[in-house]
Amino acid sequence: MREVKTGLFQSVDGVVESPNLWQFDSFDDELGVGMTTMMTQTDTVLLGRRSYEEWAGYWPQAGRDDPFASFINPVEKFVASRTLTGELDWENASLIQAPLEDFVRELRQSDGGDISVCGSISVVRQLLFAGLLDSLLLMVHPVIAGAGKHLFETGDPTTRLVLQDSQQTSKGNMLLSYGRHSG
């Protein structure tokens, strides 16, 4: 069975939205190695509408020498949206035509590498609480963002997690990988 994974940049105060506004100089070699590992293991990406619209407006124009552009542009991308219709303009991008959870259950049974949720906070939340997210990597940067969307919200269901791995990077980032607690 294919695994569904995600990695989100997060500030110490829990903000996961727009890391370009607060990440500053904390991206280091260890984060680069982690991104490279994710890209080599992933052959399918899930995106929500907002992430799709932002990324489809940027990454196709990014230079081929950018390692993430050379990964994200050709990779198979499925977009979860209730408002987008028709064909999508970005290379290898398709709308999910079934309920997200049903689609992901079926996709997990197909052949291939890892399935990565990129950005897409609402998709991450939905798959985590549905028990369909195998790994949640939080890359906690040593910064207080002060404002922005958090991954978890008041009223979320109590959800037990298990720490799969942890690492501190040279610039003080904490890489915390969690899976759902099975008990």
- Residue 183: pLDDT over 80: no
What's the confidence (pLDDT) of residue 180? 87
What's the confidence (pLDDT) of residue 23? 92
CATH of the domain at 101: 3.40.430.10
Reported pTM: 0.94
Query: Which spans in 42-154 are helix H?
Result: 49-56, 67-72, 100-109, 121-129
Residues 6+ apart with CB under 8 A from 103: 78, 80, 96, 97
Burial of 120 (0-12, 13-18, 19+ CB in 10 A): buried
Q: Give the total number of structural domains in the chain.
A: 1
For residue 174, what pLDDT band results from cuts at 50, 70 and 90? very high
Q: Kindly report the average pLDDT of the chain as a whole number.
A: 95
41-89: pLDDT as tens digits: 999 999 999 999 999 999 999 987 899 999 999 999 999 999 999 999 9
Residues 6+ apart with CB under 8 A from 54: 119
For residue 181, what pLDDT band results from cuts at 50, 70 and 90? confident
- Residue 90: pLDDT over 80: yes
Q: How far apart are CA 46 and CA 31, in angstroms?
A: 21
Residue 76: which domain range?
A: 4-180
